[in-house]
Structures are given as structure tokens and as C-alpha cells.
């Protein structure tokens, strides 16, 4: 029976065991998916011990998404570009293959939630420049967005993104972040603002056009103040839960041999 797991520290909050467990059951597949809490100093040894125990792969979450790259034998171009991996495949000979499906999850969620979304319609505006923003930037560039405007409280992190991903990126100061949304056709919150227990998102979205598609990577609560404000402006909004569900699709397919669906039933299964 093929085994897979999500590896993080802490791990109890992860929705991945519910998601993959649900898919295994739904498609009647043999397999298991567990949560493994692994400390940073035990990561390498744990990874190398898993294939012999029947593991065919794993998801990787905070805080291991960056450090896992150094223990992989093969890293995909996009994981290298993003600088982090979230999906591992263990080859029969024990070698570790690392990929990043966060950008795939982000775009698939956007396309599913806003079927008429056209990446080429105009610039994208991104709030935040952390790990999640890197995956979003790579995905938007791949999708053909003509320009990406980024604002982050800590400006040098946004500038680092521009240095890494090039000419299509423009950095706007955090105090002027509200001006970014006026021309944007795609707007993304990648900050933790609006998350349950965190501060609220305070940048004004008054300049948003109703044609703009607005999405948040925060999914607790599902409807963040950011999405609420966008909805009030008449925009199509896409919540963050779908990104998490879609990023799990490529791994599940590789490990268990069936491409799973992300639909309302899937959402209900993890909530």
C-alpha cells in the first residue's frame, strides 16, 4: 500500500491529511496519507528513511519548504525558481524528486473560481512578498500577465522579488499600496493580514474596478475582509481554500495514480 505524508513543524493544523484521505476514499484507492511532525535537525534523516518504509512521496510545509531543496536529488525548474518545494516524489531507488505546485494551485484555483479570468487583460497587483508571493509571481508570469506590481510592508523583500523575476515587476511603497489596484485586472493578497488572529487588511480597495478578479491566499476565514471589500466593489472574488486543494492534485496523482477533482464536495470534506 503506497504511503504519503505531509511533513512540517507544527503539523496538527494541516488540512492535507483530510484532503488526501478524502480523495483516497472517494476514488476507492489503496493508500495512506499521514501527518509527520519533523524538527528541522531531523529533516534530512527522516526524508531518507521514508522510501524504505513504503512512502512514495510527501508534501512539505512550514518551516521545511526552503530547506528541503538541499536534500533533494532532483529539483524542478519551477521549484528552483521559487526557491521552495511543497511536493516530493520518492523514486524506487530512494532518490528524492522535489517540485513546487503552489503556483499551479494558485492558477488552477483562479481559473476555476473565475472562468473568464484573462491573465493578459492587464497588470496584476500583489500585496506581500513572502514565500507564497514568490510562487504567485512565477505563476502569473507563466500565465502571461503583462506587468506585476508588488507592495510589501518591508520594501526590500519586494525589491528582491523584482531582482529575481525581472523586468515585468514594479515595486510600490507600502504607504501607496492602495494606488496599485486602480489599473490592476488581477489582485492578490499574499500577506497574512485578515487571517484569524492576525491584524486586519487596512489598505483601501476603493480604487478597484468591478472587472478585476480578486483573490486571497488566506482561507481562515474563507471570506476575509479583503475579499469582502472587493465583493462590495462588485469584483469576482476567489477564496484561498481552493489554492490549497489544487496544489495537492499533482502529488496525489503521482503517488496514487488517479487525478483527483477539486469541487464543492472536496471543499466540504476539509472544512
Which residues are annotated as part of the binding site for shikimate? 14-16, 61, 86, 102, 219, 247
CB of 86 to ligand ATR, least distance (A): 11
One of 100, 108, 151, 190 touching ligand ATR (CB under 6 A): 190
Grid cell listed for 10: 507544527
Nearer to ligand ATR, 72 or 132 (CB): 132
CB of 102 to ligand ATR, least distance (A): 9
Candidate segments 7-15, 16-24, 51-59, 150-158, binder of ligand ATR by CB under 6 A: 150-158
One of 192, 233, 267, 269 touching ligand ATR (CB under 6 A): 192
Nearer to ligand ATR, 151 or 266 (CB): 151
One of 18, 26, 153, 209 touching ligand ATR (CB under 6 A): 153
Task: State how far the Cα of 168 lies from the Cα of 244, in Å rounded to an integer.
Answer: 26
Binding residues: 14-16, 61, 77, 86, 102, 128-132, 152-157, 217, 219, 240, 247
The verdict on whether omega for the bond into residue 63 sits within 30 degrees of 0, i.e. cis, is yes
Task: State how far the Cα of 100 lies from the Cα of 81, in Å rounded to an integer.
Answer: 9
Q: Are 40 and 97 in contact (CB under 8 A)?
A: no
Q: What mask of x and - would describe binding to ligand ATR in positions 47 to 86, judged by CB under 6 A?
A: ----------------------------------------
Would you call 7 helix, strand, or coil by DSSP? strand
Per CB under 6 A, 180 contacts ligand ATR: no
Touching ligand ATR, residues 128-147 (CB under 6 A): 128-133
Phi, psi for 53 (deg, rounded to 5): -95, 10
Binding residues for NADP(+): 77, 128-132, 152-157, 217, 240
Active site residue 65: yes
Name which of 258, 241, 204, 254 is nearest 226 in CA terms. 204
CB of 27 to ligand ATR, least distance (A): 30
The catalytic residue among 25, 65, 202, 223 is: 65
Residue indicated by cell numbers 531518507: 48
The distance of Cα 93 from the centroid of its chain, to the nearest Å, equals: 29
Q: Are 150 and 235 in contact (CB under 8 A)?
A: no
One of 26, 157, 170, 209 touching ligand ATR (CB under 6 A): 157
Touching ligand ATR, residues 101-130 (CB under 6 A): 128-130
Q: Is 268 exposed, middle or buried (0-12, 13-18, 19+ CB in 10 A)?
A: exposed
Per CB under 6 A, 100 contacts ligand ATR: no
Grid cell listed for 237: 472574488
Task: State how far the Cα of 62 lies from the Cα of 255, in Å rounded to an integer.
Answer: 21
Name which of 265, 214, 267 is nearest 245 in CA terms. 267
Per CB under 6 A, 225 contacts ligand ATR: no
The distance of Cα 51 from the centroid of its chain, to the nearest Å, equals: 26
**Which residues are tagged catalytic?**
65
Provide the binding-site residues for ligand ATR, judged by CB under 6 A. Answer: 128-133, 152-154, 157, 190-193, 199
Amino acid at each position: 500500500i503506497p504511503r504519503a505524508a505531509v511533513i512540517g513543524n507544527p503539523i496538527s493544523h494541516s488540512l492535507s491529511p483530510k484532503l488526501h484521505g478524502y480523495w483516497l476514499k472517494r476514488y476507492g484507492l489503496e493508500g495512506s496519507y499521514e501527518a509527520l511532525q519533523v524538527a528541522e535537525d531531523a529533516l534530512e534523516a527522516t526524508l531518507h528513511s521514508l522510501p524504505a518504509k513504503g512512502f512514495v512521496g510527501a508534501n512539505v510545509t512550514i518551516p521545511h519548504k526552503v530547506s528541503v531543496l538541499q536534500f533533494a536529488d532532483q529539483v524542478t525548474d519551477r521549484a528552483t525558481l521559487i526557491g521552495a518545494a511543497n511536493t516530493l516524489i520518492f523514486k524506487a531507488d530512494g532518490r528524492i524528486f522535489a517540485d513546487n505546485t503552489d503556483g499551479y494551485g494558485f492558477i488552477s484555483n483562479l481559473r476555476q473560481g473565475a472562468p473568464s479570468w484573462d491573465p493578459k487583460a492587464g497588470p496584476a497587483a500583489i500585496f506581500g512578498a513572502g514565500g507564497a508571493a514568490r510562487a504567485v509571481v512565477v505563476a502569473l508570469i507563466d500565465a502571461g500577465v503583462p506587468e506585476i506590481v508588488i507592495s510589501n510592508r518591508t520594501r526590500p523583500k519586494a525589491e528582491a522579488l523584482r531582482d529575481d523575476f525581472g523586468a515585468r515587476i514594479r515595486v510600490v511603497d507600502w504607504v501607496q499600496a492602495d494606488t496599485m489596484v486602480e489599473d490592476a485586472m488581477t489582485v492578490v493578497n499574499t500577506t497574512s493580514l485578515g487571517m484569524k488572529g492576525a491584524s486586519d487588511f487596512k489598505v483601501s480597495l476603493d480604487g478597484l474596478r468591478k472587472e478585476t478578479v480578486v483573490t486571497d491566499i488566506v482561507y481562515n476565514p474563507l471570506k476575509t475582509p479583503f475579499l469582502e471589500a472587493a465583493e462590495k466593489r462588485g469584483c469576482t472574488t476567489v477564496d484561498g481554500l481552493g489554492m490549497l486543494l489544487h496544489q495537492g492534485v499533482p502529488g496525489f496523482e503521482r503517488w496514487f495514480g488517479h487525478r483527483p477533482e477539486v469541487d464543492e464536495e472536496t471543499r466540504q470534506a476539509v472544512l
